[in-house]
Structure formats: C-alpha cells, structure tokens
Amino acid sequence: MIRVADLHFSYARQPVLRGIDLTVEEGEIISILGPNGCGKSTLLQLLRGVLVPSQGQVLWQGQDAFRLSRKAMAQLVAVVPQSTQTPFSYPVREMVAMGRFARKVGFFGQTAADRLAVEKALAVTDTIHLAERPGSDLSGGELQRVLLARALAQEAPVLLLDEATSHLDLDHRLEISELLLRLNREQGTTVVQVSHDLDQAAEISDRILLLAANGRSSALGTPVEVYTPDNLKQVFRVEVKVENNPYTGAPRTYPVKRRNFLSQKLPRIHLLCGGGSGGELLRKLHLAGYEVSVGPVNRGDSDQILACALGLETVTEEPFCPISPTAMQAAMKLCRQAELLIVSPTVWGPGNLACLDLVKDSLSHRIPVVLTDPNAERDFTGGKAWDIIQKLVGAGAQIAADAEAVLEILNGIARSKKHER
C-alpha cells in the first residue's frame, strides 16, 4: 500500500532521516518510536506528501506521495496532528465536519452521509457533548479527541496519528487504543502512529519501527522482536527490563535505575568544553550526582552559562579571547584535584588549543582522561589539534562515543572502586 524506499530528508543542510526502508501493508497497524528529534513527525509528513524527499521515494500504490493532489491524498489518508491548537474558534461539530472535505462533490452543503459520519465520529471519541462548544474553549485532551473525530469523519482507509494520545487521561487513552483496534479489525483501517508510549504501541501494533537519534532505522519488526533491552538502550540510552504484560502478553518496559547514588562515592570530574559541546555532559553528570568543575571557558559561552546556572566551579576567560596563562593555571589546579578529566566533543581552534596541554598534564599525573567523540573534522588548527589528540590516545586517553558512553565508563570506575573496598 505504502512503500518507502531509501528515504533521506534534510532541513537545509541538517540531515533528519537517513536511508529509511518501510512497507506499510493494507490493514496493518505500525507504530514509529524513537527519541525526540529523530525524525518521527517528519516521516509522517513525508508519508502524506507534505514534504519532498531529499533522496529516495514515498509511493502510494506506485505514485509519489508529494505528486498527489491534496484532495486525492485526503481521500487516502486522515491525519491527527501533534499540535493541539486551533487557529479559529469554530464550534466542535463544524470542526469535525471539515473532515468531510475530501468526500464533497462541488459546493453543496452537508449530505445525510456527511451528517451521519460526523455524529458517529463525535460519539466514538466521546466528544458529542462538546459539539456546540467553540474549539478555543477546549482543554488539550478534549481538543485532541476532537481532532481525532475530524479524522474519523474523513472515512479514509489510512489513519496517520502524531502522538494522538499524548494529552489524554488514562481513561480516554485506553478508549482511543481500543477504537484504533476496532477500526483496524472491523473496517480494515490501516494505522501508522508516532508515539512515545512504548506500552500502548506494543499492545496495538503489528509492527514497530524504531528510529535512532541520527534518523536511521534501528529496528523493525513485531513488538517482541523490537523490544529487547539492547535495542531500547541503543535508541533511548536507558537501561530497561522487558517483561510480558500478564493480562495481554504484550511486552512492557521498565526503566532500570542507573546507579545507587547513596551507596557509591562518585569520582570528582573536571570537564573541558566550550561552544555548547559540553551541554549534554554537564546536565547528565550533574543529575547523576557527580562533583564537576569546568573550564576554562569564555564568559558568555553557552557551556559557561549552563555551568554557572548549575552552580559548578568554573574557570572563565574574557569573551572572544584566547585562553590566558592565568586561566590555564586555575584550570590545571582543578584538573589535578579531579579523579577524572573528560573532554567534550570540542571544536579546536587557535584560541583553545592550549587546553590540550591540560590533558597531557593530567595523563602525566596518572589522572584518567576520556575524550568524547574526537573527530578530525572539528580541528581548525591545520591538523595540530588532531595530531595532539592521537598522541593523547596513544598515551592512554580513553575514547567514548557519546555522553552515554561516558556514563558507562564512570559506572565501571564506580564498580571497580566498590570491589576494591
């Protein structure tokens, strides 16, 4: 029914989706899961032809999605958007009746079939009592159900939902899930939904597409096939335990606490960062309970602002100035007080190249060093920084792919200290 082949998409020069392959069969329920920013909503827009692929194809029965007219697409697919804002204060019944646009012939008023479809959609979404109220007076959850009713009134064979249950209470969330299953089983409606609710997706989906943060497909298959601790940790960066729901048999996920803060003495850390490269590390280390110092960083740098907001001891340099000997000495003192030096994925230039001397000094004093995602493309010193980094690795500096890998290294250090005691 829908064929997605080698799909790539970028906003300007920023890649969002990379090499997605997916076939949506008629009468299937597919859920698209993944972290924020991985391209889930963008994929839905590509499926309905709102966006044009940078590379690859989205085909509806052999036709490019973006080449179909708006009315032709509306006859194929109804959409429940992520947004819960309504630009005009139409009464709810009129909002739902707008879903009949694709079924109209000419400019005639509502037919008996239109009125019946609208009333049925209001009834099954528990919004019939809201029918005369203006959309601007509704709560987020009420408006979400009205938008679903509008999509149902469209009577399209395919339903696309972008986090359609995110604003709903537990009662209505369960009702909507049951409604989707009924539509699928009784009317053969094909459902493609974006969701952050892993348990709900597992309960109703035939297959699940798991997108990684880089916009690539990480896993595709049945909920049982996709919901493995390794798959979910790779995508969501959280340790999880997967068990079966005792009542339905569907897989359920439970986050596992990363570490016991109260029973472990955490090592003191110094972080070399700048230009926003340390933001994720700063937040994660602070939330994990580590004592962190930072610098040198220029005053006004986003990392400096964040470090100060978190109340971390920070060595600062004047804005737009190279690192001075005074700042270097202050930072070296903090490095030597630390039990671990972490270098963020920093862009290296003439102004901060001297900071790599801090890394050399730490290694010479047997202070472990972790380099986070070192990359020659971030070297703007004519290769000097990259040459130094390679020598640092040869001298014993560890490499971590990302912030989560840094936390794994820290977990290993904590475990080894616990065994030593």
pLDDT at 109: 65
Mean pLDDT of 114-123: 89
Domain ranges for the chain, please list them: 2-255, 269-420
Q: Which CATH class is domain 269-420?
A: alpha beta
Check whether 372 has a pLDDT greater than 50. yes
- What confidence category does residue 327 fall into, taking pLDDT thresholds of 50, 70 and 90? very high
pLDDT at 254: 86
Mean pLDDT of 166-184: 82
Structure tokens at 263: 């029973």
In 3D space, the residue among 75, 38, 48 whose CA is nearest the CA of residue 155 turns out to be: 75
Cα separation of 165 and 84, whole Å? 11
Mean pLDDT of 51-79: 92
Check whether 421 has a pLDDT greater than 60. no
pLDDT at 261: 44
SS3 call for 255: strand
- What confidence category does residue 103 fall into, taking pLDDT thresholds of 50, 70 and 90? low
Mean pLDDT of 250-259: 77
Pairing of strands 369-372, 398-400: parallel
- The pLDDT mean for the chain works out to 88
Structure tokens at 277: 């490269």
Q: Where are the alpha helices (DSSP H) in 98-222?
A: 112-124, 140-153, 170-187, 198-204
Q: What share of the chain in percent tops pLDDT 90?
A: 57
Structure tokens at 246: 């005792």
Structure tokens at 40: 């889930």
CB 372 within 8 A of CB 345: yes
Q: Which residues pair with 369 in a beta bridge?
A: 341
User: What's the DSSP call for residue 174?
Assistant: H
Mean pLDDT of 242-260: 79
pLDDT at 226: 96
pLDDT 10s digits, 257-309? 655 444 557 789 999 999 999 988 998 888 888 899 999 999 999 999 999 98
Backbone phi, then psi, for 223, in 5-degree steps? -55, -40
Considering the domain 2-255, what is its CATH architecture?
3-Layer(aba) Sandwich (3.40)
Mean pLDDT of 296-323: 92
pLDDT at 262: 42
Residue type, 103: R
- Residue with the two structure tokens 């990363």: 258
Cα separation of 413 and 26, whole Å? 51
pLDDT at 420: 53
- What confidence category does residue 51 fall into, taking pLDDT thresholds of 50, 70 and 90? very high
- Residue with the two structure tokens 């972290």: 35
pTM > 0.85 = no
How many Cα atoms sit within 13 Å of 301 on the Cβ side? 28
Cα separation of 350 and 319, whole Å? 15
